[in-house]
Structures are given as C-alpha cells and as structure tokens.
Structure 1
Amino acid sequence: MLPWKLLDTATTPEGEVLRLFQRGTEFSIRLQGGNELMNSRLSGSEEALATLAMERLGRAAPRVLIGGLGMGFTLRALQQVAPDARIEVAEIVPQLIRWATEHMQPVFGDCLSGVQVRLGDVARLMEGGGYDAILLDVDNGPDGLTRADNDELYSEAGLHAARSALTPGGVLAIWSAHPDKRFAKRMQAAGFAVEEIGVRAGRKRGARHVIWVGVSN
C-alpha cells in the first residue's frame, strides 16, 4: 500500500493545525493530533447535505450559501441537483481555498467556476440575508472540534440569525459528525420545522453522520 504523503499544513483562526495528506488519488485532511476531518473517498453525507436541502426547498434558481468549502462535495452535489442555483461559499481558512485549486484540483475539477468563494466567517455573510437555503458544514457540527466561535453559530441566537437570513420558507441544513438530542429542539425553538436524518459517510458505507434540515416557519 502506498504511504501517506504530507502535502501542506494550515492553521485555523484559533490555532488548530490542519494537515493535508495524499495517497495515490486519495486525499485526507486531519487535525495535528491525527483526527481525520475529511477524506476524498467518503463524500456521501456531505452530498446529502445539499440533496436533502434542495428536496425540501423545491425552488428554481435558489440563492444558496454554503458554510465550509471542505473538499467541495456539498458544492458539487448542489450544482448537480440545482444547476441554476446562485451559490456563495464561505471559508474561514485561506489555505483550504488554495488547496482546492492546487493540490486537490483533481477532486474539485471545475466546480468553482462561477461560484463566489469568500474568505471569512459564514455568520458574517448571513447578516446580508436574502438566502433561500443555508447549508452549514462548519467544524464538526454543533459538537465542534476546532473553533469555539462555532458554538455561537449553533446556539439558539445563531439559529435565529440564520432564520432571519432566509427568505420565507427557506431551508437551513446542518451537517454533524455526531447526533445531538438537544439540537433539534434548539432549531425548533428558533422557528424551524425540523427533520433529523441519519446518513452514511460513504454512499453505502462508513460512519453514520447526521443532517438536520429545518424549514423556516
């Protein structure tokens, strides 16, 4: 088996070190301590974030904000199910944007063409409002690993802010590595009709992840 090769490192705003590895055609992004955040062979749950949200939204030419570029899985799935969508992506770590066009170009292909990728906190972009859907794949979900500021994003106040950023009947979809019994109730308290959906990390295998899909009341 081919060994993993370290390609580059990045530092989050709070000082956590991310490491990008490659083995053949496979890529992996891990924390300094070894915990894997993303793998190019396991895209199923990130794709589900887009497909489930668009199924519930059911609108032509939606304006969509994606929080977290990652390996582009959510973005590419969104482009497939809603090819007329107007898409903005917020990414807090500049190196991840560079990795997309350099080291991981074979993974991303041309999916960034025509997409506004903005460096910065997705919470700040939400302040402008007018989105039909907001898809959040930020940190590890409500139980974050790398940024304490993400606790505010997933708080009741943060969820109210997301609802205010949506058009009437808009959709907020959130990816999480782990279930959280209290989080669906928090979304409901913020004014969403909520579904909690279990998905696989891969299309048919891998760890079980959670997608919360909330339609604003």
Structure 2
Amino acid sequence: MTPRELVGIAEVPGGPPLRLFRRGADFMIVLDRNELMSTRMSGSEVALGTMTCERLAGHPNPRLLIGGYGMGFTLRAVLERLGPDARVVVAELVPGIIEWARGPMAAVTDGCLDDPRVVLDIGDVADSIRQASAEFDAIMLDVDNGPDGLTRPANDGIYAAQGLAAAMRALKPGGTLAIWSAAPDPVFARRLSKSGFAVDEVRVRARGNGKGATHIIWFARRP
C-alpha cells in the first residue's frame, strides 16, 4: 500500500488543527483521526453545487455564497453551470486551506479561485450571512461536517434558530439555503421547517459513481 504523507497543518480559529495528507494522487483533510474530506469521495460535494444550480431557474445573474471552500468541489461544480454574469462569494475561515488549494493541491483546484466570477472572503461565513440583506439567490453551507459539528463549537450558531433566521434574511425571496451533512439529523430538519423554510431533504452518495456512504443535503427555500 502506498504510504500516507503529511503535507501540511492548518490552524483553525477556535478549534483543533487540520492536517492535509497525500497518498499517491489522492489528498485527505483530517481532524484528529476523522477524515473530513478527500479527493476520492467528492460526489456529495459536487451534488451540493449541481443541485443548487438546478434550483436557480428564473434567477438572472445569480449571486451565491459558499460557506467552506473545502477541496473546491462545490465551487467548481457551480462555476461549470453558471453563466459569465454570475457572482460567487466563497467564505473560508481557515487560511491554510486556501494555501493548500494554491499550493500542493493546485492541480485539483484547477484555477477555480482565480475565476473572475469568484470573490474570496477569508473569514467566518456566519459574518457574511449576518451582514447580508436579501443579497443571495443561494447560500451553500458545507461547514464542520454539518449541524453535528466536529471542528469548532462556534459553528453551531450557524445551524441554530438564530443562524437560520439570519440566512433567511440574507436570501432573496425564493432563494435557497443548501446545507450539506455527513449524516441525517431529524432535529435539525424540523428546526429548518420551523424557521419558515420549505424543506427538501435529499440523500446523496459520497462517491461520484453512486457508491460510498450516504450523505444528506437539505434544500431550504425562502418563500
């Protein structure tokens, strides 16, 4: 078996560090012993982008917010499907993740951060949401493994009632809040509905070939 090589360590504000490993041509981002994401299992992150874009019909020149760059699979999926007048804001809390994207993972990133439609915001997506008012046609959150977080306690606020209310205000009427999760969470799904969203829960596979673990994406539409 090809050995796993430690490529870098990235500090997380208010949380434990992340580690980037490489095994052959594959990359993995790991927290302690938990593999948060890898280039081998990108199917659900791609689905987050593609299925959100499918819900943007009727939104001319859409403006989107992606919370959490990760390995960029959601961003690249969105850019492939949006026209030249779209604008995508990417909020990434961990500067080291962007350094990895521009450094050892540059071949995977494929220049997506340099696309003229992309605005990179090094900061907390919660701040981007709170500061917006009817600004976004879609907000995509792939933060901290979903509502049941691992990396940073402060991320819980994004998924609390107050955070969902802020997301509602940040969306344009008819806009979509799309949330990725590693596992089902019936309590959170009910919270979404109680916050006034029309909710569609979709199960997707971790791998692009339809195999691997089942992940969850909630598509919550502002009326």
Please report the TM-score for the alignment, with normalisation by the length of structure 1. Answer: 0.96
- Residue 164 (structure 1) aligns with: 169
* Displacement of 1:156: 1.0
- Residue 203 (structure 2) aligns with: 198
Question: Counterpart amino acid of 1:209?
Answer: H
1:152 aligns with 2:157: yes
Distance in 2 of aligned mates of 1:46 and 1:162: 20
How far does the alpha carbon of each residue in 1:141-166 deviate from its partner, in whole angstroms, 9 at most, with x for none? Answer: 00000111111100111001001000
Name the SS for the 2:176 alignment partner: strand
* Displacement of 1:57: 2.4
Name the SS for the 2:64 alignment partner: strand
- Residue 118 (structure 1) aligns with: 121
Structure 1: which 5+ residue stretches go unaligned? none
How far does the alpha carbon of each residue in 1:155-205 deviate from its partner, in whole angstroms, 9 at most, with x for none? Answer: 111001001000110000000001001112111111110001000011211
Distance in 2 of aligned mates of 1:75 and 1:198: 20
- Residue 45 (structure 1) aligns with: 44
Please report the TM-score for the alignment, with normalisation by the length of structure 2. Answer: 0.94
Distance in 1 of aligned mates of 2:145 and 2:83: 27
The count of residues paired between Structure 1 and Structure 2 equals: 216
Distance in 1 of aligned mates of 2:191 and 2:48: 19
Distance in 2 of aligned mates of 1:181 and 1:165: 24
Distance in 2 of aligned mates of 1:43 and 1:188: 28
* Displacement of 1:15: 3.2
1:97 aligns with 2:98: yes
Structure 2: which 5+ residue stretches go unaligned? none
Distance in 2 of aligned mates of 1:3 and 1:170: 45
Structure 1 runs, 4 residues or longer, greater than 2 Å off: none
Q: Tell me if the contact between 2:22 and 2:28 (Cα under 8 Å) persists in the aligned partners.
A: yes
Name the SS for the 1:53 alignment partner: helix
* Displacement of 1:21: 0.5
- Residue 216 (structure 2) aligns with: 210
RMSD: 1.0
Distance in 1 of aligned mates of 2:120 and 2:180: 19
How far does the alpha carbon of each residue in 1:10-42 deviate from its partner, in whole angstroms, 9 at most, with x for none? Answer: 1211231211011121000001x2110010111
The percentage of aligned residue pairs carrying the same residue is 53
Distance in 1 of aligned mates of 2:171 and 2:132: 10
- Residue 179 (structure 1) aligns with: 184
